[in-house]
Amino acid sequence: MEQELLPYVEQSPSSTPNACVIWLHGLGDSGHGFAPIVPELKLPDTMAVKFIFPHAPERPVTINGGMRMRAWYDIKSLDFNSRADLTGVLESASQVEALIQEQVDKGIPTNRIVLAGFSQGGVIALHLAPRFTHKLAGVMALSTYMCEPSLLASEATDTNRDIPIMMAHGDQDEVVPIFMGNAAYKTLTDNGFNATWQTYTMQHNVCMQELNDISAWLQKVLA
């Protein structure tokens, strides 16, 4: 049985798109959360990049008293090692894989697709990309961490080991402490992945300097 595609917000360029950014939101947010930043990136029209902002499924979240909200996985505890529920992460990664396939079916090859994610969304991006068997254009992991880092060495494929992985984090982040992001970065580089690490004077959010850097990075990766 084919799984139902996640609903999403789409922002398409004026010309036929030849590249795509699939951007995953954080806990309790929706695809609408990051959509307004597309104009802020000021990408040249010639790039013809389509942006897809999926809505995570609604599920009860343990740390929020079991309240239902949009979440890529349950968070049972804030403990560093068990914050991300692996079962939920795998389910969401599979749903994102289906979104990638939809774009491929529409004529955008995987090597023209950037997988981006903020916080919980970044956890999904960092889980899927190293295990994905088709070449992506790059990965953007913002204010995020890694689910079960000890599994990476045995589960990673070589397909995306050399693609650029941009990791960015606020040095005043109280939601996902910076050491968690840096630990994910180190796990990636220790396993031979092409990750970069950048910090900003901010909390658990994005700032203008970061958006400028994201724009420059996207222009380079999708040139």
* Catalytic residue annotation: 119, 173, 204
Pairing of strands 58-61, 165-170: unpaired
Give the Cα separation of 104 and 132 in Å (integer): 14
Residue 135 Cα to chain centre, angstroms: 16
DSSP 212: H
User: Could you tell me the sign of the dihedral formed by the alpha carbons of 148, 173, 179, 156, in that order?
Assistant: positive
Angle, to 10 degrees, between the axis of helix 120-128 and the axis of helix 86-105? 70
